[in-house]
């Protein structure tokens, strides 16, 4: 794969390229195979990874950083797997989130989920019902999941105390 | 018989328990005994990771250190920051 870039790069694209994971953004040729491969785009017609990359390339900094879209990526990396130019939208959106966090743009629902994970020790505590327990028993699996919530509470206290008060 | 410790994560045990059962069954046929990782915590991927890198490192680091076969990782984790 050659190192040449194909697209003009905005200041915002250059900024993203400096964050680990965002380096190769300027190799994007806007073919759209990322959107075509995306499991999120399949169920949400507002979520279009190619279009989001395009907005970064043309320098729509504010719009991208304040958008919920970079937070919708599930990091399945199918886009990365299929991209012929070696670009990883998953990594690029991670770089965007790093920058968005620095400037205080975290979608409320995302923040609530982080709180939930750190409080319960894992994400699906509320979703785990006796139906799931029965299913696990039928499969010969242990229905008691025994998650630890003390450690994540400590992590919250140590690393996320400021964000909570903010 | 070889033994491994299985970290199930959040989604597999709740949404995809058949994957978990299949993994254990296949490994069993290959002569590998699977031990469940009890007292595990969320690995922090995506959610915690996006908000705070250090918190993410601490959470996934603890998951790794649960495996008794990886004592070395646990020892490294005790080193002061910058040495790891």
Say if the Cβ atoms of A160 and B51 lie within 8 Å: yes
Query: For B60, which residue in chain A has the nearest alpha carbon?
Result: A152
User: Which residues of B are less than 8 Å from A122 in CB distance?
Assistant: 10, 40-42
Of A94 and B75, the structure prediction assigns the larger pLDDT to A94
| pLDDT in the model for residue B71 | 47
Say if the Cβ atoms of B40 and A97 lie within 8 Å: no
Average pLDDT over residues A123-136: 95
| ipTM at complex level | 0.79
| pLDDT in the model for residue B68 | 64
Question: What confidence category does residue A3 fall into, taking pLDDT thresholds of 50, 70 and 90?
Answer: low
- H or E segment and range at residue B6: strand B2-6
Question: What confidence category does residue B77 fall into, taking pLDDT thresholds of 50, 70 and 90?
Answer: very low
DSSP 8-state symbol, B36: E
Per-residue model confidence as pLDDT tens digits over A54-73: 999 999 999 999 999 999 99
User: Which residues of A are less than 8 Å from B50 in CB distance?
Assistant: 71, 94, 97-98, 101, 110
Question: What confidence category does residue A166 fall into, taking pLDDT thresholds of 50, 70 and 90?
Answer: very low
Question: What confidence category does residue A1 fall into, taking pLDDT thresholds of 50, 70 and 90?
Answer: low
Say if the Cβ atoms of B20 and A141 lie within 8 Å: yes
Among B8, B40, B42, select the one facing A117 at the smallest CB separation. B42
Distance CA A115, CA A109 (A): 10
Mutate: best of B13, B25, B57, B74, partner A, most A CBs <10 A: B13
| pLDDT in the model for residue B76 | 46
Mutate: best of A137, A148, A154, A156, partner B, most B CBs <10 A: A148
Q: Diameter of chain B by CA atoms?
A: 43
| pLDDT in the model for residue B82 | 43
Distance CA B73, CA A122 (A): 22
Q: Which of A28-42, A82-96, A141-155, B58-72 has the lowest mean pLDDT?
A: B58-72
> Could you please report the per-residue DSSP string of chain A?
------S---HHHHHHHTSTT-TTGGG-----HHHHH-HHHHH-TT--HHHHHHHHHTT-HHHHHH-SGGGT-----HHHHH-TT---HHHHHHHHHHHHHHTT---HHHHHHHHHHHHHSSS-GGG--HHHHHHHHHTT--S------HHHHHHHHHHSHHHHH-
Distance CA A119, CA A96 (A): 26
| pLDDT in the model for residue B72 | 46
Per-residue model confidence as pLDDT tens digits over B46-71: 899 999 989 999 999 999 888 765 54
Q: What percent of chain A has pLDDT over 70?
A: 92
pLDDT at residue A149 above 80?
yes
Output the CA torsion sign for B12, B14, B19, B25: positive
Please, are residues A65 and A99 in contact by the beta-carbon 8 Å criterion?
yes
Please, are residues A155 and B55 in contact by the beta-carbon 8 Å criterion?
yes
Nearest-CA distance from B41 to chain A in Å?
A: 5
């Amino acid at each position: 794969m050659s190192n040449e870039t194909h697209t003009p790069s905005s200041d915002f694209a250059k900024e993203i390229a400096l964050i680990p994971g965002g380096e190769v953004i300027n190799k994007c040729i806007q073919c759209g195979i990322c959107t075509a491969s995306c499991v999120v785009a399949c169920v949400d017609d507002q979520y279009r990874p190619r279009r989001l990359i395009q907005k970064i390339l043309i320098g729509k900094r504010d719009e991208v950083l304040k958008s919920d879209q970079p937070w919708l990526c599930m990091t399945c990396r199918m886009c990365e797997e299929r991209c012929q130019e070696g670009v990883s939208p998953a990594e690029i959106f991670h770089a965007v989130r790093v920058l968005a966090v620095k400037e205080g743009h975290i979608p409320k629902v995302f923040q609530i989920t982080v709180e939930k994970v750190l409080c319960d020790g894992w994400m699906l505590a509320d979703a785990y019902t006796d139906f799931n327990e029965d299913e696990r028993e039928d499969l010969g699996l242990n229905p008691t999941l025994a998650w630890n919530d003390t450690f994540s509470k400590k992590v919250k206290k140590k690393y996320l105390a400021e964000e909570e008060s903010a | 018989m070889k033994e491994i410790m299985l970290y199930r994560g959040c989604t597999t045990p709740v949404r995809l328990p058949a994957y978990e059962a299949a993994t254990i069954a296949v490994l069993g046929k290959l002569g590998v005994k699977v031990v469940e990782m009890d007292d595990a915590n969320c690995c922090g991927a995506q959610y915690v990771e996006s908000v705070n890198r250090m918190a993410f490192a601490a959470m996934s680091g603890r998951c790794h250190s649960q495996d008794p076969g990886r004592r070395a990782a646990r020892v490294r984790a005790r080193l002061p920051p910058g040495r790891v």
